[in-house]
């Protein structure tokens, strides 16, 4: 019986440092060509501690690479209409180049409606239906953040996907579903892709029966 292949730990930190350096150069070129720094706006509804911390981290990274960060904070009591209007104003603002809506939003806010208020050309997190369709068809556009990072790691480590069996655990709209679409759209090197819920009893068989076991879980420490 053939022994299972040895797993390889991918160093996302090294890849991210390279990407940050490239982004810094792109921001400098943008400043030179346009006369201003590129602007990334974040919309935060409420004061969830984890979300506040995450937005601060994004703000710091923007400053580090030469991107102007902008934060739109709405109270936790805000309704869908207020959040949608805030995003629409950013979509219409020519001085804003990218828009992020911090997930999750309070339960009274229709997150999908807020996402869809982002104009596709500024949907840098790849959360709109139009961006999802572009991912599914392998067309130009922004891809979902974490799935895009997974695909970048595959490229950085020259992972050969063709002939592999990739298993995606979970089906969230920001991780499980998009990574499945990106894997299927990776022609001509797309693997066989299986989607399974996190409650599946077959998960215990992953180390021996799957070529790319648990793309979103075992290899990258997240499910969705």
Q: Which residues are catalytic?
A: 58, 102, 125
Count of beta carbons in the 10 Å neighbourhood of residue 219: 19
CA distance 179 to 136: 10
CA distance 6 to 13: 21
Residue 70 structure tokens: 């902008």
Short-list 82, 83, 58, 53, CA closest to 69: 58
Let me know if 120 is exposed, middle or buried by CB neighbors in 10 A (0-12, 13-18, 19+). middle
Helix locations, the chain, DSSP H = 12-34, 49-65, 80-92, 111-115, 129-137, 145-156, 176-184, 206-209
Task: Say how far residue 195 (Cα) sits from the centre of its chain.
Answer: 18
CA distance 2 to 178: 33
- Sign of the Cα torsion 148, 153, 158, 160 reads negative
Conformational region of residue 68, where left means phi above 0, alpha means psi within -120 to 50, and beta covers everything else:
beta
């Amino acid at each position: 019986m053939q022994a299972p292949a040895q797993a390889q730990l991918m160093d996302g930190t090294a890849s991210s440092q390279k990407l940050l350096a490239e982004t810094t150069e792109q921001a400098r070129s943008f400043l030179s060509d346009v006369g201003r720094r590129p602007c990334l706006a974040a919309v935060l509804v409420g004061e969830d501690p984890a979300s506040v911390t995450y937005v601060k981290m994004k703000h710091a990274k923007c400053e580090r690479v030469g991107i102007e960060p902008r934060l739109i904070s709405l109270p936790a009591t805000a309704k869908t209409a207020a959040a949608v209007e805030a995003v629409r104003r950013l979509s219409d603002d020519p001085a804003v180049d990218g828009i992020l809506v911090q997930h999750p939003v309070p339960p009274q806010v229709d997150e999908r409606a807020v996402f869809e208020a982002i104009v596709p050309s500024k949907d840098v997190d790849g959360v709109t239906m139009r961006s999802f369709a572009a991912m599914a068809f392998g067309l130009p556009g922004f891809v979902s953040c974490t799935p895009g990072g997974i695909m970048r790691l595959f490229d950085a480590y020259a992972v050969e996907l063709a002939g592999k069996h990739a298993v995606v655990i979970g089906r969230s709209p920001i991780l499980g579903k998009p990574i499945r679409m990106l894997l299927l759209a990776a022609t001509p090197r797309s693997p066989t892709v299986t989607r399974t819920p996190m409650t599946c009893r077959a998960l215990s068989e992953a180390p021996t029966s799957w070529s790319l076991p648990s793309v979103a879980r075992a290899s990258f420490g997240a499910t969705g």
